[in-house]
Structure 1
Amino acid sequence: MTATRIGLDGLVFDVDVAGPEDGEPVLLLHGFPHNKESWTETAPLLHAAGLRTVAPDQRGYSPDARPAAVADYRLPHLAADALGVLDALGVSSAHVVGHDWGAAVAWYLAARHPGRVRTLTALAIPHLDAYQHAYRVDEEQQHSSQYVEFLVSDGAADHFLADGAAQLHAWFTQAGEGVLTDAQIARYVATHTAAGTLDAALNWYRANNLLGDPLDFGPVTVPTTFVYSRTDTAVSELAVAKTEEYVTGPYRLLTLEKTSHWQPQQDPDTVAAEILARVRAYRQTH
């Protein structure tokens, strides 16, 4: 693995690049409140299959890519960061995989920059147009989205960091017994208790109002796989079902019955298998 730093418009991103140098590129976008370490279990499986992975610590998570203004965390900026990382590595297009907020960026890239996205594998989070539709009409999604209202509040970061970051630690342990090791939890907590990290990560919620005006991503034309966990309380069944209406390219929905929201860590074999299946299907037509 090569750990590199990529400068983009005054910001510097920490990026892990690994796998065969001639492998097809796979961009791995982490979610909240994680970082590129969330791909530790999945990435080696992709390398073994001949793929080359690019995993950045995204805006707000890389210490030197942490602008102060909330507006600087809007999705167009987050997507531009991802494309800038690919540009810096000389990658014209990639298979894009995103988890949680990383999936939101991945959906945006696929909808708005389809020429740069060979395939999309979205983990845990549906197309955000489908999510917002469900929030407007579905009581289940409205209930499931209550946590977002808290995360955009001014006191959210202080809440998580109080009492030795007790609530932040609890956020990671809620993944379930054995999903994250004690060492992994300790590293995540240490990362997010560093000055400014958690507040910057929460700016993703503040800048992109999931519960407000429509984001209007538009349709996705690239081959897409959406992996949904039925036990994930953040997303309603309607949002999941509605996602297919926003994908005009080849589409597959995989529902995991027992895996939690933390798919890359808890079930890396299935996640890697779905990515590989999508990549192989793409190869057959290109």
Structure 2
Amino acid sequence: MTDHSLEHTRIPCPVGTFDAIAAGPEDGRQVLLLHGFPQASMQWTHQVAALGAAGYRAVAPDQRGYSPQVRPERVEDYRMSELVADVLAMADSLGWRRFDLVGHDWGSAVAWTVAAEHPERVRTLTAVSVPHPTGFAQARKEDPDQELRSRYITVFQRAGEAERRLLADNATALRRVFEWKVPPSHVDEYVARMSEPGALTAALNWYRAMKYGERVGPVAVPTLYVWSTEDSAVGSTAALGNEKWVTGSYRFEMLEDVSHWIPEEAADALTGLILEHLAAHSG
């Protein structure tokens, strides 16, 4: 899919205005897609365009800290409760009573929490890469492999130091995060966005606000979880143990030889899975 099928739009909310990309008819079935770190709505370009072409109304916002007009300075303003409230506020602003929710990386963590706490609003959940937050937290504590994979979080939580390390030498370390699996044009855009004053700190505050974390309950809505075998951040223990956190319909799909950056590296495969999941739960 090409960018010309996309709309650039804005979602006014009480906390500020979120930037977003969108596609599809206004009266189409509504799908909200949440990006991860250190990306933006752009990561969903392929999926939003494909969903729109299939008759869905797909919207992918730049979330809190990534939209310049919603960039509070305090770490506590990036607690999960605030991120969840943003999703509901955006849905309300769009006039969406009930919607399908898709998330990757941090967007996945937010999507899991919204689905667990507000099942009356979420028709289906598609979680990409990051499993259920409570199960993932357990894996980080109990599985040595996952603990090792998650050590970068401690680095990201060091205020000032993390920003300097990631942006030094033309953002070499930030570029390396993408493991050469994301289109260079997208990486350049992400780096440009994260280089704006205050932007990287806002994005890292998602990690720094983890100290305010609360246990997330099981998810009852129909759920698709997509994990890739070459994910450097999420190991097999967390991924394979995810099913016990879903009480409703659950589908697990494993993509071989794909990195953490599924939406862009395996765009066609992921888009096909999302469309199948939505079609299977149309009620």
TM-score (norm 2): 0.94
1:161-195 deviations in whole A, cap 9, x for unaligned?
A: 122222122223x143xx31x32222111111011
**Aligned mate of 2:22, from 17, 20, 24:** 17
Asked if 2 retains the 8 angstrom alpha-carbon contact of 1:224 and 1:250, the reply is: yes
- Equivalent residue runs for 1:62-141 within 5 Å: 62-141=67-146
Equivalent-residue separation in structure 2 for 1:270 and 1:279 (angstroms): 15
Aligned to 2:208: 206
Does residue 185 of structure 2 align to residue 183 of structure 1? yes
1:174-229 deviations in whole A, cap 9, x for unaligned?
A: 143xx31x3222211111101111110000000024xxx86311010000000001
Asked if 2 retains the 8 angstrom alpha-carbon contact of 1:31 and 1:103, the reply is: yes
1:34-67 deviations in whole A, cap 9, x for unaligned?
A: 0000011222221222111111100000011000
Asked if 1 retains the 8 angstrom alpha-carbon contact of 2:22 and 2:48, the reply is: no
- Equivalent residue runs for 1:47-58 within 5 Å: 47-58=52-63
Name the amino acid aligned to 1:245: K
Asked if 2 retains the 8 angstrom alpha-carbon contact of 1:45 and 1:269, the reply is: no
Aligned to 2:166: 160
Asked if 1 retains the 8 angstrom alpha-carbon contact of 2:128 and 2:226, the reply is: yes
Q: CA deviation at 1:239?
A: 0.9
1:60-102 deviations in whole A, cap 9, x for unaligned?
A: 0001100011000011111111111111110111110000000
1:130-180 deviations in whole A, cap 9, x for unaligned?
A: 1111112111111111111111112101111122222122223x143xx31
Name the amino acid aligned to 2:16: L
Worse-matched range after superposition: 196-205 or 41-50: 41-50
Worse-matched range after superposition: 70-79 or 45-54: 45-54
Asked if 1 retains the 8 angstrom alpha-carbon contact of 2:48 and 2:60, the reply is: no
Equivalent-residue separation in structure 2 for 1:10 and 1:36 (angstroms): 19
Asked if 2 retains the 8 angstrom alpha-carbon contact of 1:79 and 1:109, the reply is: yes
Aligned to 2:175: 169
For structure 1, list consecutive stretches of 5 or more residues without a partner in the other structure. none
CA RMSD of aligned residues (A): 1.4
Residues 128, 265 of structure 1: alpha-carbon distance in 2 compared, 3 angstrom cutoff? same
Name the amino acid aligned to 1:281: A
Name the amino acid aligned to 1:71: E
Equivalent-residue separation in structure 1 for 2:185 and 2:234 (angstroms): 29
Equivalent-residue separation in structure 2 for 1:119 and 1:170 (angstroms): 33
Equivalent-residue separation in structure 2 for 1:10 and 1:218 (angstroms): 26
- Equivalent residue runs for 1:38-53 within 5 Å: 38-53=43-58
SS at match of 1:254: strand
Identity of aligned residues (%): 45
Does residue 279 of structure 2 align to residue 277 of structure 1? no
